[in-house]
Structure 1
């Protein structure tokens, strides 16, 4: 982290000199504040999003800055909100007048009034986001840190500037942000704030699901998502929007036989996936891969605990969960649903007597998502027994080798039917009808079973024989 005496050096750039000069010309002191300051102090990149708070009109300063900066600059003014944005190169600079806020109990939309820098820092969510650095004459490069945010940065703490219960009750989205920052930065939420999160968790109901999911997906995209997921569970926040996850919690014992706690197992799976891919939707598949287990759990003396069909049931739950959470109901949802449904398929082709047909069907059904599916399946190995883990991973090596062999021979990963419907109609001089689909299905099954190779000539010959078998007459 930057030393306090070195703080001024990262504002020693032309962009900040221009902003400060423009603000001085308008006699409106201004400060760079929030995430840009925090991340620069933590050496987390140079930052492309810059927030500038102005004691006066943020819009007026933004207009002056847009004219003063060299080159073409894009100015956007949001008069209703009293804000403006200047895009300069790869930078996006937001200007806003200093404000103070008050809240009603039934809304997160504040009553906003003009305020001082102190008022503006008071309304910030966390001490590490209330750090400001002067850009105006006489204060240029000076750190203004009324809540010891610099110390909290050094100690790795998430703390609210004011009393946390009030902070979270006023704007409950801050609760999700607390967990998000703790996860992204690997910081600790202080005890007082943790207690406030738990006491105010139900206030999340006044926040739109879209905004909750925006924060949640940032947690899911972190290097170790389980940190945030565990915090959401412990504070009661997870229960507010994803109660299905809580149903996975706990271990049941019958006649001395127990099953694993599928909640904590799921968090491990998501972390394992995070080491392999940044794709948040693969992580979502990991999060939901066992979601059907609570409703399929059964115990029998003969085999113990079973969860038969949990993948199928879980896949049926995915669209309902996505719809409720206002997540995209498009190919992203279908991708997650597909991986949940197929999450036990690869292990079925491990045994030595598994046929090439089973491997072909796996490749055919998974298509281009086979690599993501294998990441999920291998991440699902959370045993703490080194010998078992090694054996399970070796099993998946067997699966991968079998897939390579079959794929090289049959090219099924991105399979396209070798015979089109038009070719079938032309071959038998017929109009569209159910027979065409029946012949195409028969060709696909013959290829998957290995009766014919995935080649046009063989498929054409099979098509003719199948059509004749169905009573169709080939064209002369």
Structure 2
């Protein structure tokens, strides 16, 4: 067991307050888990601190609050025997040391009071079982019963006890193992990885919200492909993203093959992480090709085709978000729009015309920059000449977008002539003719036949009205 001391880890004054509160209550107390792990990894000071008391965590939280000048409010969660308070931007969670036992159909354990050792045994990974003493005589001493420091140094994710039992008891830990391996760029120890594969189907008892929370953290990492490759390797992926699993593999007919769209997708996600922290744009990168599996066809002349995969994929986004109990709001609509339009700039880059750029800006609106970022990430060719050509073409599109936008103002387009004015001019009530004229004005502006200005649009309205047989009732 490691018996090193790290008093400098406990420099923030809050730790002295906790130590004093524990002494007043004659309790042993320890800071455990992520704070200790991140300190040893030099990842910066964590804002979430877990404190274990050998006794009542709730009583310790109340005493800490009493000792602090601001007397922060203590939130108590009796069912879990935990309490929480916030002070100086730090969130402290207090829990009594405990033993846990599980039933097969739930990740919520039966709990009884225990020792620090019992509490460390129930932790998910050795690197999260590290504890620093807050007791007066041993202040700052590290308690490391499972050689977690060694695992930190060797960059290994390992469970303190039998991995099969650890993962079966709480299957969310399988996703946490993959998430930590991705975030920290660690390796999951061999027996632990095998145990995840053995217990993969147990993920079905975990709530969708918990699963999505871990997926968000994988997507927010600097190299998400590592996490998704591990989800694939361990057999967890079919339970979460069958749409991605369906993309895996290469078919060959008459000597013609298509690329493996699963591994291509992971490359796209890694590419986009280099240029954006927008979580929902990263989701769009993950899902941009999901329509390719159901639309894959082989044609003797054209070879492998994926016609309308963007349209099909956008519809699949809604179903996927609904199944995973994700928000069906503007975030989902943004991902849908990105998937639906994901090929537009690629086609446009081959012939950068003003009218095509106007339509792109009109359809993408405020998201045109995000769309270009996604399309640039979608370039995964290993041919340096092709790679350079695509990026040069996209740069031309970006320049043209700026030029056209400055001149024509079609982003978040509002017709220069309103429906009310059309009705008044031709003495109409709400009718199909108004829609025909409004659409014609919009098309004329997007095609560059008339500028996006009131006088030109009004003249065009009068001409279009005459063409469809409307009589002028009011001269404006």
> TM tier, shorter chain?
over 0.9
- Counterpart for residue 382 of structure 1: 380
Contact 2:29–2:135 (CA under 8 A) maintained in structure 1: yes
Structure 1: 5+ residue stretches without partners: none
CA distance in 2 between partners of 1:94 and 1:420 (Å): 58
The answer as to whether partners of 1:419 and 1:456 remain within 8 angstroms in 2 is yes
Q: Distance in 2 between matches of 1:132 and 1:436?
A: 72
Structure 1 segments (4+ residues) deviating >4 Å: 3-6
Residues 426 and 74 (structure 1), Cα distance of their counterparts in 2 relative to 1, 3 Å cut: farther
- The corresponding residue for 1:450 is 448
Cα displacement (A) at 1:253: 1.4
Q: Do the aligned residues in 2 keep the contact of 1:182 with 1:189 (CA within 8 Å)?
A: yes
Provide the rounded CA distance (Å) in 1 between the counterparts of 2:425 and 2:398: 39
The alpha-carbon deviation at position 429 of structure 1 amounts to: 4.5
Match of 2:73 in 1: 74
Task: Say whether 1:441 aligns with 2:435.
Answer: no
2: CA distance, partners of 1:100 / 1:112: 6
Q: CA–CA distance in 1 between the matches of 2:4 and 2:52? A: 23
Partner residue, 1:402: 400
Q: Structure 1 stretch 150-159 or stretch 299-308: which is displaced more?
A: 299-308
SS of the residue 2:199 aligns to: helix
Decide whether the 8 Å contact of 1:74 with 1:88 is kept in 2.
no
> Paired residue for 2:26?
27
TM-fit CA distance, 1:266: 0.5
C-alpha separation between the residues in 1 aligned to 2:473 and 2:130? 80
Q: Please, which runs of 5 or more residues in structure 2 have no aligned partner?
A: none
- Compute the RMSD of aligned alpha carbons: 1.6
Displacement of 1:441 in angstroms is 1.6
Instruction: After TM superposition, give the deviation of residue 276 of structure 1 in Å.
Output: 0.6
Q: Tell whether the 8 Å contact from 1:29 to 1:55 is kept in structure 2 after alignment.
A: yes
Answering whether residue 130 of structure 2 is matched by residue 124 of structure 1, we say: no
Deviation sequence 1:106-129 (CA, Å, 0-9, x none): 111100111111111000000000
CA contact (8 A) 1:427 1:474 kept: yes
- 1:418 deviation in Å? 2.1
Matched, 1:329 2:328: yes
| Distance in 2 separating the partners of 1:308 and 1:440 | 31
Output the CA distance in 2 between the equivalents of 1:351 and 1:291.
24
Shift of 1:200: 0.2
Q: How does 1:2-81 map to 2 (within 5 A)?
A: 7-71=6-70, 73-81=72-80
CA contact (8 A) 2:4 2:141 kept: no
Q: Secondary structure at the match of 1:341?
A: helix
Match of 2:420 in 1: 422
1:95 counterpart SS class = strand
Q: What TM-score comes out, normalization by structure 2 length?
A: 0.96
Say if 1:125 and 1:174, in contact at 8 Å, map to a contact too.
yes
The structural deviation recorded for 1:351 is 3.3
The offset of 1:249, in angstroms, is 0.7
Distance 1:42 1:9, change over 3 A: same
Does the 8 A contact of 2:55 with 2:96 survive in 1? yes
**What secondary structure is seen at the aligned counterpart in 2 of 1:465?**
helix
CA distance in 1, matches of 2:379, 2:386: 9
Following superposition, the deviation at residue 7 of structure 1 comes to 2.0
Instruction: Tell me if the contact between 2:103 and 2:109 (Cα under 8 Å) persists in the aligned partners.
Output: yes
**Counterpart residue number, 2:273:** 274
CA distance in 1, matches of 2:84, 2:397: 53
- How many residue pairs align between the two structures? 473
Contact 2:5 2:140 in 1 (8 A): no
Q: State the alpha-carbon separation in 2 of the partners of residues 455 and 334 from structure 1.
A: 30
Distance 1:72 1:449, change over 3 A: farther
Give secondary structure in 1 for the equivalent of 2:137. Answer: coil
Once residues 265 and 382 of structure 2 are traced to their aligned partners in structure 1, the CA distance between those partners, rounded to angstroms, is: 14
Say whether 1:192 aligns with 2:163: no
State the 1:430 CA deviation.
3.9
Q: Could you tell me whether the CA contact under 8 Å between 2:3 and 2:141 is conserved in 1?
A: no
Q: 1:133 to 1:472 in 2, by over 3 A?
A: farther
What do residues 34-61 of structure 1 show as CA deviations (whole Å, max 9, x unaligned)?
1111111111111111110111111111
Q: Contact between 1:103 and 1:170, CA under 8 Å: does it hold in 2?
A: yes
- Contact 2:5-2:141 at 8 Å conserved across structures: no
- Confirm or deny: 8 A CA contact 2:257 2:304 kept in the other structure: yes
CA–CA distance in 1 between the matches of 2:101 and 2:471? 78
TM-score where L is the length of structure 1: 0.96
